[in-house]
Structure 1
Amino acid sequence: MKPRILLLIAFLTLTACKREQKKSASEPVLISNHVQYTEENGILNIQSGNFSYTFKENQLPFKKIILLNASMAGYITEIGAENLIVGAASPEYIYSENIQKLLKDGKIQNVGNEQKYDVEKIISLKPDAIFTNHIASFDNTYKLLKDNGIQVIFLDEYLEQNPLEKTAYIKLFGKLFGKSDKAIAKYDEIIKNYKDLKQLASKAKEKPTVLANEMYGDIWYLPGGKTSLAHFISDANANYILKNNTEEKAVTMSFEEVFAKAGQVQYWINAGNHPSKKEMLTMNPVYSKLPVFNDGKIYVITGKEKAKANDFFESGVVRSDLVLKDYIKIFHPELLPDYQLTYMKELQ
């Protein structure tokens, strides 16, 4: 009997250990190739690019944060955490009505801009964390903030070229703000919408040819064939003129090079924020030589714009489903007859 009892005790101990391990550790949550996080023994570990962060249970959820990038406001508004923001840089670029109201009421402070942050005000606000893209020239400022006990979290979501991975950052914000359930539910909703829309687009009978972006000076900056815009065009069942390109960044071309590729183009998207085709020509008269300028359709990203704020760069960062829906409406209007564009606008 004694050996059996010892064996039973050993089995129960091993089972308890396994249960404890399962409870105390979790599989890494992969946001993208740039960002992931894990939880172990009540500690949250985040890897974001070259930066690592560790937070204990008593440090989360954050209750006071500062944003140094307007694009991150999109994630926060999607999970209803605007009241956690106590400071924002360049608030004139933030589109959210809720955040603008909090700014007007003095509940969110203006902490400067990328030319010069108001470090004294930031320190006085005593935030739990600051969220920003990493800008090497501000390393001295980041060090000063860290030396004053402020956590600076670098999230370079703008580097993501897979639209759904860019959306996935909402899960990390949910984890940090104590809103994981809401963030995951929103993420799942967007993912389902996106996949359903992609499936709808695949039913289109025609596959139009697309040109994107515009010229600055004498150079046309086209999205590379592996950029997020190229993904959107492909998922909306259209042909991008650089679809075979393998770059995840902008590709520079002369007008002549673009002209040689644009003979069959039917749609020109993300053509800046011009108010009219006439104004486009005052900026760059050579556009009139493009067949698409005269016979095709041109769309700009000003559907949700107020002064300096453009929601395409805010909620559009998270709502990849709505961005895709806009492109499908543009390329295949018959598939979404009752839908009105959210972020895009056709130029007259």
Structure 2
Amino acid sequence: MKPGILLLIAIFTLTACKREQKKSASEPILISNHVQYSEENENLHIQSGNFTYNFRQNQLPFKKIILLNASMAGYIAELGAENLIIGVASPEYIYSDKIQNLVAAGKIQNVGNEQKYDVEKILSLQPDAIFTNHIASFDNTYKLLKDNGIQVIFLDEYLEQKPLEKTAYIKLFGKLFGMSEAAAARYDEISKNYQELKQLASKAKERPAVLANEMYGDVWYLPGGNTALAHFISDANASYILKNNTEEKAVTMSFEEVFAKAGAVQYWINAGNHPSKKEMLTMNPVYSKLNVFNKGKIYVVTGKEKGKANDFFESGVVRSDLVLKDYIKILHPGLLPDYQLTYMKELQ
């Protein structure tokens, strides 16, 4: 064969190989600064905080999973994948009726609680994966499960401070369950709703002053100015009393410090789970000194609560659009005249 032809074949082969390599590795899908995933040579790579996971094609999609915290249930329910769950910890904290019915029917097993997980039961169920927040005190338990061939996947969605990034975890669950298209479509719909609601809120003529959270003992734990709640307040076109703060965690203040900042506050949101203003005063009489307590409006997150289960911490983790809609209804009721609150309730 002529040298020129051999050279052309070599160039063609090299180009084809490069194209194949390019096809085999996907660009990372960024869920947030904490979580991303990518595919290479038909393997799925996940980076979640300090933890890395690699799954071969024959390991996916997962068919049997265990959840060790209730917030994960919101993502599963949003995908309609409840039948994949074979075990949950502390089922009394799960709001979903479908999951509760599966627990009652024995199709989902109780595998313990945050004090102690039933490792023997978990091993007997042989799940494809366990989903949980990482709790350092359980590292020995996690190691025991991993040593027995069980995947323990840590997803700390509670660390996310941008509402839509918290919602975006649904895309990772979709990837692991073989439901990527459905998950992406659901995320796109929630994101679209959120942006439209934010645009609606921007039309409000006033930006009311807002106070959040409550006291524990002598300390008021306010959300930092760069937390999820602060972002919700801003996107609802209101003025949070710590809007200039840059913390992504709770800021501790004395009552006197809060009192000094709260003179113009009209709305107090996420004020715990109190049943009434009277009960609030029995817990902490100093609240009566606040202008917002006497003349403003106070809202708690008990709109969807059953026993120990609260859907704000379950479906509300995913449905950032509905959470924002609640805050807009509270802070600018005229913009959503026919909407009834989903997760919030006004205290009387």
- What TM-score do you get using the length of structure 2 for normalisation? 0.98
Matched residue, 2:70: 70
Q: What letter matches 1:138 in structure 2?
A: F
Deviation at 1:23, TM superposition (A): 2.3
Runs of 4+ residues deviating >6 angstroms: none
Alignment partners' CA distance in 1, 2:204 and 2:104: 46
CA deviation profile, 1:201-226 (whole Å, cap 9, x unmatched): 11100000000000111111000000
Alignment partners' CA distance in 1, 2:4 and 2:296: 83
Q: What letter matches 1:72 in structure 2?
A: M
Q: What letter matches 2:182 in structure 1?
A: K
Alignment partners' CA distance in 2, 1:193 and 1:2: 64
Deviation at 1:4, TM superposition (A): 6.1
Equivalent residues in 2 for 1:29-108, closer than 5 Å: 29-108=29-108
Matched residue, 1:224: 224
Q: Which secondary structure does the structure 2 equivalent of 1:116 belong to?
A: coil
Q: What letter matches 2:147 in structure 1?
A: D
Alignment partners' CA distance in 1, 2:163 and 2:74: 14
1:194 aligns with 2:189: no
Matched residue, 1:277: 277
CA spacing shift, 1:338–1:3, aligned 2, 3 Å:
farther
Q: Which secondary structure does the structure 2 equivalent of 1:45 belong to?
A: strand
Matched residue, 1:306: 306
Matched residue, 1:143: 143
Deviation at 1:147, TM superposition (A): 1.1
**11-20 or 39-48: bigger deviation:** 11-20
Q: Which secondary structure does the structure 2 equivalent of 1:243 belong to?
A: coil
1:164 aligns with 2:168: no
Equivalent residues in 2 for 1:21-32, closer than 5 Å: 21-32=21-32
Deviation at 1:77, TM superposition (A): 0.5
Alignment partners' CA distance in 2, 1:21 and 1:343: 48
CA deviation profile, 1:90-144 (whole Å, cap 9, x unmatched): 0100001110110010000000001011111011000011111111111111111
Alignment partners' CA distance in 1, 2:27 and 2:346: 45
For the aligned residues, what is the CA RMSD? Answer: 1.2
Q: Which secondary structure does the structure 2 equivalent of 1:107 belong to?
A: coil
Q: What letter matches 2:200 in structure 1?
A: L
Q: Which secondary structure does the structure 1 equivalent of 2:39 belong to?
A: strand
Alignment partners' CA distance in 1, 2:6 and 2:184: 45
Deviation at 1:148, TM superposition (A): 1.0
1:246 aligns with 2:246: yes
Q: Which secondary structure does the structure 2 equivalent of 1:234 belong to?
A: helix
Q: Which secondary structure does the structure 2 equivalent of 1:117 belong to?
A: coil
Deviation at 1:3, TM superposition (A): 6.5
Q: What letter matches 1:162 in structure 2?
A: K
Deviation at 1:324, TM superposition (A): 0.5
Alignment partners' CA distance in 1, 2:10 and 2:111: 59
Alignment partners' CA distance in 2, 1:127 and 1:136: 22
Matched residue, 1:174: 174
Deviation at 1:22, TM superposition (A): 3.0
CA deviation profile, 1:24-72 (whole Å, cap 9, x unmatched): 1100011111111110001101111111111000000011110001000
Equivalent residues in 2 for 1:110-121, closer than 5 Å: 110-121=110-121
Alignment partners' CA distance in 2, 1:97 and 1:72: 15
Q: Which secondary structure does the structure 1 equivalent of 2:243 belong to?
A: coil
- What TM-score do you get using the length of structure 1 for normalisation? 0.98
Q: Which secondary structure does the structure 1 equivalent of 2:77 belong to?
A: helix
Alignment partners' CA distance in 1, 2:239 and 2:7: 66
Deviation at 1:14, TM superposition (A): 3.9
Deviation at 1:17, TM superposition (A): 2.2
Q: Which secondary structure does the structure 2 equivalent of 1:299 belong to?
A: strand
The percentage of counterpart residues that share the same residue type is 87
Alignment partners' CA distance in 2, 1:231 and 1:2: 68
Alignment partners' CA distance in 2, 1:112 and 1:254: 38
Matched residue, 2:337: 337
Alignment partners' CA distance in 2, 1:13 and 1:346: 69
Alignment partners' CA distance in 2, 1:10 and 1:319: 54
Q: What letter matches 1:123 in structure 2?
A: L
